[in-house]
Amino acid sequence: MTIVPSLRNSNSSDQLWKPADLLESERLANEIQDCVMKIVKKREDRVVNGEADSFGNDFLGLLVNAYHDLDDKNRLSMEDLVAECKTFYVAGQETVNGLLAWIVLLLSIHEDWQEKARREVIEVFGNQNPDSDGISKLKIITMIIYETLRLYGPTTGLPRRVARKVQVGKLVLPANINLLIAKAALHHDPQLWGDDVHLFKPERFADGIAKATNYNAAAFFPFGLGPRFCVGMTFATTETKIALSMILQRYSVTLSPAYVHSPVPIITLKPEHGIQVIFESLHNGA
Ligand code: HEM
């Protein structure tokens, strides 16, 4: 069995000409790489030591399997394995984390929706942990997730490259230019959403996305459009529903006076000063 190789490519002479922030970013990149490789090695060791008979069939297991593929045409390099892990971690963690934070903020302000959501969660799950049957019944929670994705979607723009000259309506786009489709602008366009566009109104989505957007696919696409559409969409919404249900079962949330509203797009849409809310346990002694 191949033991995970080192991908590091450091050279002490780098320190003579590289600026400090570049050296620091390289150090961090190496640390992330080492961290992923340690996790991979742990998986490999379990098989080598006879504690497991396969690398597993979760996402990491599939990648480690591909890394050990006997056919070198199908084999994944360690560099690609690490890159896949980084992509899924960043694409999956930052986005869902941000979405949950914005939902908690909005529910702390709109206590009527918080109450409706909690009622639904208790009706569906009682005080039990969420299960997959119940997850598909969460209508109010789904509406809240969509409306939060519209107002504070984690990704604000969609980068695209124009491969060949194309006409879009009156606009002629030449080949080989880079475009940023301003998703947030469309999600906040009063012509598409009405004059109350800036208000949190989950009821817009009461009859689903198609009705809310008047059957216009370009009015709402928090997970992108086309063949590069987000592969993690179902996972992300399920994860959000589970986490939110568990929070609502246990806590009521109110906005802290310390909160200062300042969403800033730093890769994903982030609250510049954090989100200060007050959680109060719904169960005595919990
Ligand atoms: C609220 C959560 C999320 C949002 C809003 C979101 C949004 C997006 C968007 C807008 C894209 C680009 C799509 C395009 O170019 O058309 C994308 C791509 C991607 N997302 Fe997500 N995402 C979320 C969660 C996740 C999760 C949980 C995962 C993985 C577990 C994930 C994995 C990916 C990957 C791998 C891509 C690249 C797909 C490709 O280029 O083929 N995302 N996501």
Protein residue with its CA nearest to atom 17 in ligand 1: 230
Cα–Cα distance for residue pair 83/89, rounded to 1 Å: 10
| pLDDT at residue 3, as a whole number | 46
Protein residue with its CA nearest to atom 31 in ligand 1: 232
Residue-wise burial string across 242-259, b where 16 or more C-beta atoms lie within 10 A, e elsewhere:
bbbbebbbebbbebeeeb
* CB-defined site of ligand 1, < 6 Å: 87-88, 91-92, 95-96, 99, 153-155, 158, 222-226, 228-232, 235-236
Residue 256 has pLDDT above 90, yes or no: yes
Match 């084999």 to its residue by tokens: 75
Positive or negative torsion for Cα 26, 31, 34, 39 = negative
Q: Are residues 91 and 177 in the same domain?
A: yes
Q: Is residue 10 part of a domain?
A: no
Q: Are residues 214 and 123 in the same domain?
A: yes
Angle value at C-alpha 97, between 93 and 99, nearest 5 degrees = 125
Q: How far is the CA of 93 from the centre of ligand 1 (A)?
A: 10
Q: Are residues 63 and 88 in the same domain?
A: no
Q: Are residues 100 and 225 in the same domain?
A: yes
Output the known binding site for heme: 230
Q: Is residue 25 part of a domain?
A: no
Cα–Cα distance for residue pair 163/168, rounded to 1 Å: 14
If one counts the domains in the chain, the total is: 2
Q: Which two tokens stand for residue 30?
A: 């190496």
Q: Are residues 137 and 235 in the same domain?
A: yes
| pLDDT at residue 114, as a whole number | 98
Q: Is residue 6 part of a domain?
A: no
Protein residue with its CA nearest to atom 19 in ligand 1: 230
Read off the pLDDT of residues 41-90 as tens digits, 9 standing for 90 and up.
Answer: 999 999 999 999 999 999 999 999 999 999 989 999 999 999 999 899 88
Q: Are residues 243 and 215 in the same domain?
A: yes
Alpha-carbon distances, residue 228 vs 24, 113, 223 (angstroms):
32, 33, 9
Residues of the domain holding 214 = 84-281
Other beta carbons within 10 Å of 170: 5
Q: Is residue 12 part of a domain?
A: no
Do the strands 178-181 and 158-161 form a parallel or antiparallel pair, or are they unpaired? antiparallel
Q: Are residues 111 and 47 in the same domain?
A: no
Start-to-end CA distance of the chain, whole Å, equals 49
Average of per-residue pLDDT across 185-196:
96
Protein residue with its CA nearest to atom 24 in ligand 1: 92
Where residue 156 sits, what CATH number does that domain have? 1.10.630.10
**Do 31 and 38 form a contact (C-beta atoms < 8 A)?**
no
Q: How far is the CA of 26 from the centre of ligand 1 (A)?
A: 25
Q: Is residue 19 part of a domain?
A: no
- Name the band, by pLDDT with cuts 50, 70 and 90, for residue 226: confident
Listed range (15-19, 115-119, 128-132, 137-141) with the worst mean pLDDT: 15-19
**Do 95 and 154 form a contact (C-beta atoms < 8 A)?**
yes
